[in-house]
Amino acid sequence: MDSKEVMFCLFLLFMASLCCCDVAEAKQGSMSIVAQKFEVQKHLNRLNKPAVKSIKSPDGDIIDCVHMSHQPAFDHPLLKNHTIQMMPNYNPEGLFRNGKMSTTAKNKNGGGSKSIAQLWHVNGRCPEGTIPIRRTKRDDILRASNIKSYGRKTNFSSIPKPESGGPGGIGGQNGHQHAIAYVEGDKYYGAKATINVWEPKIQQPNEFSLSQIWVLAGSFDSDLNSIEAGWQVSPDLYGDSNTRLFTYWTTDAYQATGCYNLLCSGFIQINNEIAMGATISPLSSYHNAQYDISILVWKDPKEGNWWMQFGNDQVLGYWPGYLFSYLSDSASMIEWGGEVVNSASDGLHTTTQMGSGHFPDEGFGKSSYFRNIQVVDGSNNLRAPQDLGTFTEDNNCYDVQLGKNNDWGNYFYFGGPGRNPNCP
């Protein structure tokens, strides 16, 4: 065999090996796709429990009415034999006045803010003994960076201590920016506020904008305990730009525990009226009608569970006290306010809005607010917070301004547009 024939044979062997590699890679790719589909379906089966009834919401959501005892909470190993507590043993003193729930306050200009509900209610309600759960879709999970991260906060690997990064360990790390009011230095057993609800514009799908209450305890390094509740716009999580009610919890600074809403085991819901993660409607509009929600989170002094109430009369459910380490006793800090993600994807500050997208000095009807801010003390009394402080990373982007009067008690306006001539 001459040299040309040898070269030709070597060439044929080389091409054959390439073909084999291509086939192997294609086969491996096909197997990985099949494996991913299997894992996604497995996760969907875990999250979407059998429904007694399903309701199609006008926004495209499916709300499944799931028997209370079948909800995701009971997938948690600590809750396998848990007996559901159907009502808190004690409500905070001051929540009721003259035997009735406190009514919505007037705004400081004399006008009233209006109460709101959830969009899916227009097409039905869930029967007694069930809870409404927003159905998770395949696309919801595929938007996450990986299946395990779906429903969890990301980019929280480094949470600075308060003295080095601002209150609550939230000093602008990983592109997160805030405009908050806060209290610290005491033992707190809950927090309450009324928040008006907007639809802030989001620049990038991986960004979000929220307004919430944080109930916090721990060192803010690796063992932060947090219970959070409010409203948010998060295209990555929900697949749209709707404003939605949400909750979150963690016991280890967002590393491995906790999740949004009912997307993991933990929170036990008892209410058949309100769906976590569902769209809130109607919303406030600029220089027009204002709509707000009231949120209360407090610790039952008898059982030690942390309860959540929505509005004036909807007790939603509770986080069992034994899920937590530091919060099994009390909170050491309470925060109220807004948060956004500033991804700076184009090298500039994001145009993602916080609150209404307007600065606090514009006031009622234009800026977003928290009013009737209260904490729950060691005697289970709702009271005005002492020494309320404020914090923001850059008040040229988002700001916060405190106030106090007879109608609103302690309140603040907050928010902003993000990128502007003073916030490039």
Question: Which whole number is the average pLDDT over 224-247?
Answer: 96
pLDDT of residue 246: 97
In 3-state terms, the chain is what percent helix, strand and coil (to 5)? 20, 35, 45
Q: Are 263 and 247 in contact (CB under 8 A)?
A: no
Mean pLDDT, residues 365-394? 96
Would residue 27 count as lying in a domain? no
pLDDT tens per residue across span 220-229 = 778 899 999 9
Domain presence at residue 28: no
Which pLDDT belongs to residue 367?
Answer: 98
Domain presence at residue 402: yes
Which runs of consecutive H residues, i.e. helices, occur in 308-412?
A: none
Domain count, the chain: 1
Residues in a beta bridge with 401: 413
Per-residue confidence (pLDDT) for residue 346, from 0 to 100: 86
The span from the CA of 130 to the CA of 54, in Å, is 11
Specify if 20 maps to a domain: no
**pLDDT for the residue 364:** 97
Residue 19 falls inside a structural domain: no
Question: pLDDT for 34-76, tens place per residue?
Answer: 877 889 998 898 899 999 999 999 999 999 999 999 999 998 8
Cα 85 from chain centre: 24
Q: What is the pLDDT of residue 19?
A: 53
- Active-site residue list: 228, 339
**Per-residue pLDDT reduced to its tens digit, 185-225:** 999 999 999 999 999 999 999 999 999 999 999 987 788 99
**Domain-embedded: residue 424:** no
The one-letter amino acid code at 75 reads D
In a domain, residue 12? The reply is: no
Distances (CA, A) of 111 to 204, 311, 341: 35, 19, 33
Q: What amino acid is encoded at 297 in this protein?
A: V
> Mean of the per-residue pLDDT values for the chain?
86
Give residue 177's domain range: 48-415
**Predicted TM-score (pTM) above 0.85:** yes
Is 31 within a domain? Answer: no
